[in-house]
Amino acid sequence: MDYLETFNELKSALLELDLKWIVHEVEQEIETGKFVEEKHSTLKETGKDIAGSRFSRGQKVDFTKRIDYEPKEKLLLLLDGLSNGAIEPVKIEGAISKWLGEDIHSIKFVAEETDDDDERNTSRLRADNQVINNLKQEIDNLKMELVSKND
């Protein structure tokens, strides 16, 4: 599986479904990168002589380092974004509508800080519960498959 190609295809599909805010947030996360801790030895000054200071190995300390996401990790981020940002809200909307027992035409989830054109609308994903549950299951299966692959 070409992870980068799959990532780009899914990204294009999300853009076509007017889910650009999911793509935007995932791209921001990818641009930020991930942070890992590394241990490095330090030097400590042990004295001075004619040549200058003398050093010996000091204690190890943790340093944080930024690294880029691998293509497989980028795909997993996008799948998580789709699941958490689109599928789950549709499931919540269905549960709320069922609980209220009324014909609700739409429920819109809006972030506290949002651009005018950055509407978090999942209306194009509305479908019956079976379709949404199947889509969620397929995403979860694909994520499990990706995580279990060692490449």
Per-residue pLDDT of the chain (151 residues; tens, 9 = 90+): 799 999 999 999 888 888 888 999 999 999 999 999 999 988 888 888 777 788 888 889 999 999 999 999 999 999 999 888 877 777 777 777 777 776 666 666 666 665 555 555 555 555 556 677 777 888 888 888 888 887 7
Q: State how far the Cα of 9 lies from the Cα of 43, in Å rounded to an integer.
A: 49
Check residue 26 and give its pLDDT.
95
Q: State how far the Cα of 85 lies from the Cα of 24, in Å rounded to an integer.
A: 12
Other CB atoms within 10 Å distance of the CB of residue 7: 21
Check residue 134 and give its pLDDT.
76
Check residue 36 and give its pLDDT.
94
Token pair 């691998």 in the structure block, residue? 70
Q: State how far the Cα of 16 lies from the Cα of 28, in Å rounded to an integer.
A: 19
Check residue 145 and give its pLDDT.
87
Check residue 132 and give its pLDDT.
72
To the nearest 10°, report the CA torsion of 144, 146, 149, 151. Answer: -160
Check residue 47 and give its pLDDT.
81
To the nearest 10°, report the CA torsion of 66, 71, 74, 79. Answer: -160
Check residue 114 and give its pLDDT.
55
Check residue 105 and give its pLDDT.
63
Q: Which residues pair with 41 in a beta bridge?
A: 60
